[in-house]
Each structure stands twice: as C-alpha cells, then as structure tokens.
Amino acid sequence: MTENNSEQHAIDTSTIQKIARLARMEIQPEREQALCGELSTIISWIEQLGECDTANVEPLASVTGHSLPMRDDVVTAGNEPEAVLSNAPEEASHFFVVPKVIE
Amino acid sequence: MSDILSMTAVAARQALDNKTISAVELTEAYIKAADDTADNNAYVLRTSDKAMEMAKASDKRLAKGEAGLLEGIPIGIKDMFCTQGVETTASSAILKGFVPPYESTVTENLWQDGAVMLGKINCDEFAMGSANETSAFGAVTNPWTASEGPLQGKALTPGGSSGGSAAAMAARSTLLAPGTDTGGSIRQPAAFCGLVGMKPTYGRCSRRGIVAFASSLDQAGPITRDVADCALMMTSMASYDSGDSTSIDAPLPDLMDAFATAKNAGIKGMRIGIPDEYTVDGMPDQIASLWETGRKWLEDAGAVCVPVSLPHTQYALPAYYIIAPAEASSNLARYDGVRYGLRVDGASLDDMYAKTRGAGFGDEVKRRILIGTYVLSAGYYDAYYIKAQKIRRLIQNDFTNVFADVDALLTPSTPSSAFALGDESKDPLSMFLNDVFTVPANLAGIPAISVPAGLSSDGLPLGLQLIAPSLREDTLIKGAAILESAAGFDHVASGAAS
C-alpha cells in the first residue's frame, strides 16, 4: 500500500487458499470465489488509509499508557487436572489427545 | 405483574428493601416474561432453577439486612461471559458444549453484589456483527416494530453484537444486561432498542473470563433502562483485577452521586464539543435534527456547546477493520479442537485443525480471520497493521486535543434506526458502517454512552452519544442524566412482556 495507491486491490483464489492455510481453516471450494469478491471489497476500502500522512507517527498498540504490572513469580492456582481437561474433546491419563504427529 | 416488570433496577432495589416485593416474586416475574417473549430468540440458555435458588438466597440476605448493591436483581448474561458450570459458547458452533470451570470477573462481581442469573443471552458469533445475525443460534428479533413506512410489518434487528441483551431488555425479560463493546456492540443495540448503553474506559471492567475478540478494544459495560440503572450497574461491574494485565487500578468516580448532582444542579459550565466530522454524507434529517435538539437540551441545563474538529475521524472505521480482525485472527487461533469445543477428525493434526475450524466458525468469523491473517502476513504487516496502529495514535491525539478544551462530546449514536433483519447481512461493508460513530471511542480507549433521545418518524428509537476523556464516566452520567430528563423517553416496545 503506497501513499497514493488508488488501484483496486484484488484478492484471488490462490491468495484465499494461502491465507486459509496460514489460518489452518478449511474453506469450502464453492465459497472461494465469493470470498475473493468480499475480501477485495473490504481491502480496497481499507486502502483509503494510504492517503493519511503518518510520517513520524508512533504506532499505538495499547491505550492504557502504563507498563504491564509485575507480580511475584509464585504458584497461585493449579493441580486441577480434572478441571483443565473437563472440556477436552479427547483425553487420556490427564493428557489432551491429538492425532499422531511423529512418523 | 406489569407493575413489577415496569420497575427499573433502582426502583426494584427499593421495593426489595421495603419488602413490598420479594426477590422470588421479582425473579418469577422475569422468568415468566422470558417465557412469554421466547419468540424473539434472545435467550440461548435458561437457568431458571438456578435463578430461583439465587433469589431465595437473596431473600434471606434481605431479611438479615445484608443486601448487596444488586441484591435480588434478575440478569441475563451475554454469552461472551464465562459462567462457571453453565455452558458458554459466544454464540459459536465451535464452542458448543463448552462449560467453563471458572467465572468471569464481571459476572462474579454481579453475583457478589446479589444479582440473580436468568440465563445466557444470544449475540453475534464471537461478538462479530452489528445485527445479531451471525449467531449460530440464529437471529434475534427487536421487540420494537415500525409504526408506518417501508419497515412496517417487518422483523427488525436489535443491532449487535449485544443484540440479544438489548432485545431482552426491551422485551423486559431481563432487568439489567451486561454487554461487551469492541466497536459499538453495547451502544448501537442500546440505541436500536431504546436503552442506555455505556462502554466505559478501556480497563474499567476486567476482561478476565470474557471470550476474547480484539483484546486491545474489548470492554464490558452495562445495558440498562435508564441512566440511574447504568450508574448502579457500572458500579458493580467495574473493579481492578490482577487477572487482567490491562485492568485499571484507579477508583471509579461515584456515579450515583454524579447522577444526583446533575439532576439537582444541572451541568452549568460543562463544555460540550460538537465534532464537525460526525456530520456524514447521507445522514438522515431526523438524526441531524435530533443531534441539534440534544445540543439545545444540554445548553438549557447550563452547558456551553462549541464546535470542535477531530480531523482523522474518517480513518477510524478502516483502521478498526484492520486492528480488530488482526487481533481476532490471533485470539481465535486457540479454537483448534484440542482443549475444548468442537473437534472434527482429520488425517493429520493440521488437517484436524483445518476441518475443525472450517466446520465450527460461521461466515463472518471466517471472513474476519482471513482479513486478520492477511493484514498480519509477511509483506503486508507494515502496510496494513502498523499503518492502522499509526492512525490509531492520530485518532487518540485528536481526542486528547479536543479534551483540552471540552469536557465531553455529543454525537448521534448510529447513522440510522433499526433496519430489517436480512437487509444488510449480504453486504459486509455496509454492515461495518453501522459503527461509524462508535468505533473512535474504542480505538482511543475512552468512555462513551448512548442515551435514548427520541423516536424516528416510523416510531423506532434513536440514541445520542456522549464521549468523555479517559476515566470520566461521571461526566457521561451527568450529561446523560440531562439528555434523559429533557428527552422524557418513556416509550415501551410493542413486543415487551406485560
């Protein structure tokens, strides 16, 4: 995005597939074409920010203006495996179970 | 029964203290009201047995003279708040069946103060939406209906994302409602449903136990029938919480006192800014004229109104639609089918993630995750995400500059009254524009309130918004008290329980 970019920013199906993969989120093939249009419209609209001069402006990540509070590094909770695992889709011997990841 | 339902929370507290009603009677009336208005789909889960137990406990405390601030007040909870032992889904299929083993700090504060839990309330999926149409539980219907014109006879949106909460308030199936507001999700539904809605200063209410959407913007606040109830509920909800690293450790001003002061003495000398940039193209005449009327109401009570300029206002909405999806894409990475919620089996771990998330998230959530992933991806991070954070700084500076001269700002709450369900959901961009007046306060982290100020020509509620500097919720309550008295808004939705 350059400061004076006025061209439409088109998002194609390969971009949709790439970001869906990055997000680990399956997109139905029949939705891809519609998403190209929807995201292109939104991204093109966002491009208007290019016309705003932000030279020498510090990015703002937090509005609170104070640094993160520190606390003593002590255990305040824990040893509740049943509670931690109570919503697990699959668990065994106090572990979350996932598909095999090592060949 | 109708007498019970017509009481505000402040009035109900008084009646409970005076023993003219019991907490059990009050709770029974609201359980019946929720039964009678179930068609609006505001509740996604009813906890009536739990409510009756809590009401009985309240009656015992009332009898012993140990009543809390919200003792015996029945409350439905937006499904964004984790409630211990009670299913919490953020209205998403991916969290179906999730039963939190802990309570959110905000709801814990309500229960500590004696409130009674009626159930969990519908919202846009992960609070992403402005019409409550993205919920996995289906849309919510606004209890208000148009009296004439093209919207007559149509089901209207209550707004969103706290649409179920606002609809339940307008239907009188809850007496108070906590909402969450990331870009307007308390104020816009409050405006659409004839209610008071406050987004306090970022950090006033703990985010601990609230399902995360965009963590630098998310803030809980009250949706209430009037300004006095707002002051009461805000007092209960706010607290410093070491469990939220962005929680503010500063005392909340005495909001009940601020309300009483404004009612008794007016707001003589208060300086109110009218931002030029909030006059947007295509603003309906009746919203422009209501805004002008609001200015006169404040002046009649002693305020001095002056034009001010917030020059970067037009960039707030596009900057928001980079920052909020970016944070959402990061926050929602946790829904992976491993620790909680939905799992769809796959050939590999990655395949399981992708199938689970593909099946569990709805279209709007997917769209925002994709946008967020895109603007954070290599090669685009500086151009979009850093650019938006720089704009955010400029927007915050705009507010800092005007608040050197004025105590608060007056704007419309929304660019329209409630629209028909289905009207805007096909076009994501036009849905975003609902938040044009509400988003800047989220980006700057400052408090804002919407107050019902009148009806449109077709009989639908319209709201005015006040915006104040950081930590000055008392200024909002004072200004809102004046707007409320002058407006005399005493209309009741046609779909309200009686």
Q: For a pLDDT cut of 90, what percent of chain B falls above it?
A: 95
**Nearest C-alpha in B relative to A85:** B339
| Per-residue H/E/C for chain B | CHHHHCCCHHHHHHHHHCCCCCHHHHHHHHHHHHHHCHHHCCEEEECHHHHHHHHHHHHHHHHCCCCCCCCCCEEEEECCECECCECCCCCCHHHCCCCCCCCCHHHHHHHHCCCEEEEEECCCHHHCCCCCCCCCCCCCCCCCCCCCCCCCCCCECCCCCCHHHHHHHHCCCCCEEEEEECCCCCHHHHHHCCCEEEECCCCCCCCCCECCCCCCCCEEEEEECCHHHHHHHHHHHCCCCCCCCCCCCCCCCCHHHHHHHHHHHCCCCCEEEEEHHHCCCCCCHHHHHHHHHHHHHHHHCCCEEEEECCCCHHHHHHHHHHHHHHHHHHHHHHCCCCCCCCCCCCCCHHHHHHHHHHHHCCHHHHHHHHHHHHHHCCCCHHHHHHHHHHHHHHHHHHHHHHCCCCCEEEEECCCCCCCECCCCCCCHHHHHHHHCCCHHHHHHCCCEEEEEEEECCCCCEEEEEEECCCCCHHHHHHHHHHHHHHHCCCCCCCCCCC
Q: Is B383 on the interface with A (CB under 8 A)?
A: yes
Q: What is the pLDDT of residue A71?
A: 86
Beta-carbon contacts below 8 Å between A and B: 158
- State ipTM: 0.92
**Cis peptide, bond prior to residue B104, ω within 30 of zero:** no
Is B488 contained in some domain? Answer: no
Sorting pLDDT into bands at 50, 70 and 90, what band is B426?
low
pLDDT (mean) for B66-84: 98
**Nearest C-alpha in A relative to B391:** A54
pLDDT (mean) for B35-43: 98
Q: What is the pLDDT of residue A37?
A: 94
Q: What is the pLDDT of residue A5?
A: 40
Q: Is B378 on the interface with A (CB under 8 A)?
A: no
Chain B contact set for A38 (CB, 8 A)? 367, 428
Is B229 contained in some domain? Answer: yes
Is B249 contained in some domain? Answer: yes
Is B217 contained in some domain? Answer: yes
Does the distance separating the beta carbons of B336 and A46 come in below 8 Å? no
pLDDT (mean) for A31-51: 95
Does the distance separating the beta carbons of A60 and B396 come in below 8 Å? yes
Is B300 contained in some domain? Answer: no
Q: Which of residues 321-360 of B touch A (CB under 8 A)?
A: 321-322, 329, 333, 336-343, 345-355, 357-359
| Residue B167 token pair | 């609809």
Does the distance separating the beta carbons of A28 and B358 come in below 8 Å? yes
Sorting pLDDT into bands at 50, 70 and 90, what band is B199?
very high
**β-bridge mates for residue B43, sequence order:** B121
Domain that holds residue B198: 2-259
pLDDT (mean) for B347-367: 97
B63 Cβ contact partners less than 8 Å away, ≥ 6 residues apart:
none
Q: Among this protein's residues, is B161 annotated catalytic? A: yes
Q: Which of B22, B58, B78, B239 is catalytic?
A: B78
Give the span between the Cα atoms of B273 and B310, in whole angstroms: 10
Does the distance separating the beta carbons of B429 and A23 come in below 8 Å? no
Query: Residue B64 maps to which CATH number?
Result: 3.90.1300.10
Does the distance separating the beta carbons of B374 and A45 come in below 8 Å? no
Is B335 contained in some domain? Answer: no
Q: Which of B135, B161, B162, B236 is catalytic?
A: B161
Interface test with B, best of A4, A42, A67, A80 (most B CBs within 10 A): A42
Write the Ramachandran bin of B341: left for phi over 0, alpha for psi from -120 to 50, otherwise beta: left
Q: What is the pLDDT of residues B304-352, one digit of tens each?
A: 999 999 999 999 999 999 999 999 999 999 999 999 999 999 999 999 9
Is B344 contained in some domain? Answer: no
Q: Is A103 on the interface with B (CB under 8 A)?
A: no
**Nearest C-alpha in A relative to B431:** A42
Chain A contact set for B92 (CB, 8 A)? none
Is B271 contained in some domain? Answer: no
Does the distance separating the beta carbons of A90 and B357 come in below 8 Å? no
What kind of architecture, by CATH, is found in domain A1-52?
Orthogonal Bundle (1.10)
Task: Give the count of domains, chain B.
Answer: 1
